[in-house]
Structure 1
Amino acid sequence: MNTTTIVLILAAIVTVSIILIVGSQMRERSRIERARRMTFQEDQYKRAHRLLDEIPGQYLTSELKLLLIKNMEEACQQLSALKSPLPIKQWLEEIRQLKNTVLENNDNRSPVKIDSPEKSNYVKELLQSLFKMIEGMHKTGKLDNSTAKKNLKYVLFLVHKTHADLHVFQARDYVRQNEIRKAIHAYHLASTEMGKSRDNPLAMKAVKSFRTRIKELEAMGPENDTRSGSQEGQSKLDKEWDTFLHDDEWKKKADYDD
């Protein structure tokens, strides 16, 4: 075997080795990228599912629920295309049933009391995550400008309402304890929070209601039976506030596109 033949054989071996190494690296990169994409889509699904489950029922409109469901559905479709070993078919069937329930207006989720700073902050974090999700859907073209703007403004309103909910809960507690000055201060804080959503007619309705309640409490002199009087007025405000997001008249008038 002459020198030329040996050189050619060695060159062929080197070439084949390089091809095999490059091919192996490409397969590994493809595997890693596929795993990364699957992890991302799984996280998208789980995040939307968590928001749907954990955001207080009184906060979620049908439109927000459908946006979350849409995110879950798209994540499952991507996972299916990537041949994920996760139970995608089961998830898609559950999503289909949930979507029908929402469309038929039968998805009745229990309201959650915001009765501690910890709960208020947790719900705020959930709403901030929802805000980012809607922003992401808008940036990727999954939501048009009008729909994105409307829902982003509504979520911001919910963030303010979360703080107001806590202040109202505290005010109620102060009234029960006959600590009227503290109750008035708590209602002032609630009014300030709702005032941050001035373009929302429902928020302005709340501000007006709080101001009325504050005047009622301020008008009570020491000679009055403050406990019974304040509880009577409080009962009315409690009912209005607890059904606040179910105001049909407001829903007809509200317009977030302005």
Structure 2
Amino acid sequence: MDTTMIVLLLAAVVTVSIIIIVASQMRERARIERIRKTTALEDSYNRAGRLLSEIPGQYFTADLKLLLIKRMEESCKDLQALKSDQPVEERLSAVQQLKKSVMDGEDKRPPIKIDSPEKSTYVQELLQNLFKMIEGMHKAGKIDSATAKKNLKFVLFLVHKTHADLHVFQARDYVKQNQIRKAIHAYHLASTEMGKSRDNPMAMKAVKSFRTRIKELEAIKGDEEHSAAREGQSSLDKEWDTFLHDDEWRKKADYDD
């Protein structure tokens, strides 16, 4: 075997080795990328499911539920395309059943009273995550600009309302303890929070109600008035609690503008 043949054989061996190494690296990159995509889709599915299950019922509209369900449904379909070893078929079936339930108006989620700073903070974090999710769906082209704008605006209103819920709870507690000055301050804070959503008619209705309540409390001077104030509070409490979980306020809330 002459020198030329030896050189050609060595070159062939080197070439084949390089091809094998490159192919192996490409397969490894593809495997890693598939794992990355699968993990991202799993996270997306789980985050949407968590928001759907943990955001209190009074903060949901059918539109918000359907956005979360849309995210979960798309994640399942993308996982199917990647041939994930997760029980994707079962998940997709459950999500589609939930979607039908929401569209038929049969999905009812109980309201949760915001009676501590911890609850308020936690719900605000959930709503902020929902806000980011909607932004992400819009940037990815999953929803149009009008849908994104409407729902982002509404979620911001809900964040303000979460603050107001806590202040109202504290104000009620202060009235029960005859700490009227503190109660007035708490209602002022609630009014300020709702005032941040000036373009929402129900927020403005709440502000008017808080101002009326503040005037009632400012007029208190004696025990009889204290008693009357507590009785009067029950009317405002009932109105606010209805505002929390009655569908009527959602119908009246014009957050499309």
Instruction: Give the TM-score band, short-chain normalised.
Output: over 0.9
What TM-score results when the alignment is normalised by the length of structure 2?
0.96
Do 1:160 and 1:197's aligned partners in 2 also have CA atoms closer than 8 Å?
A: yes
The secondary structure found in structure 2 opposite 1:58 is helix
Cα deviations across residues 26-74 of structure 1 (Å, max 9, x unaligned)?
0000001111001111111000000000001110101100000000000
Greater CA drift, 110-119 or 62-71: 110-119
Distance in 2 of aligned mates of 1:254 and 1:179: 33
> 1:73 aligned to 2:73?
yes
Q: CA 1:252–1:108 in 2, change beyond 3 Å: closer, same or farther?
A: closer
TM-fit CA distance, 1:224: 2.8
Gaps of 5+ in 1: none
Check 1:223–1:178 CA distance in 2 against 1; reply closer, same or farther (3 A cut): closer
Q: Which runs of 5+ in 2 are unaligned?
A: none
Distance 1:29 1:58 in 2: 46
Q: Which residue of 1 aligns with 2:233?
A: 234
* C-alpha deviation, 1:243, in angstroms: 1.4
Q: Following TM superposition, by how much is the alpha carbon of 1:255 offset from its aligned partner in structure 2, in angstroms?
A: 2.8
- C-alpha distance after superposition, 1:226-255 (max 9, x if no partner): 0x2122111111111111145555544433
Q: Which residue of 2 aligns with 1:255?
A: 254
Q: CA RMSD in A?
A: 1.3
Deviations 1:110-167 (A, max 9, x none): 1111111111111111000000111111112211111111100100000000000000
Letter in 1 for 2:176: R
- Partner letter of residue 234 of structure 1? Q
Question: May I ask how many residue pairs the two structures share in their alignment?
Answer: 257
Query: Is the CA contact (8 Å cut-off) linking 1:164 and 1:190 kept in structure 2?
Result: yes
**Contact persistence 2:61–2:250 (CA under 8 A):** no
Any idea what SS the aligned residue of 1:131 has? helix
Q: Structure 1 residues 134, 116: CA separation in 2 closer, same or farther (over 3 Å shift)? A: same
Does structure 1 residue 171 correspond to structure 2 residue 171?
A: yes
**CA distance in 2: counterparts of 1:4 and 1:249, whole angstroms:** 89
Given that residues 76 and 88 in structure 2 are in contact (C-alpha distance below 8 angstroms), is that contact kept between their aligned partners in structure 1? Answer: yes
Percent of residue pairs bearing the same amino acid type = 74
Counterparts of 2:170 and 2:209 in 1: how far apart (Å)? 16
Please give the TM-score of this superposition, normalised by the length of structure 1.
Answer: 0.96
**Which segment drifts farther, 10-19 or 245-254?**
245-254
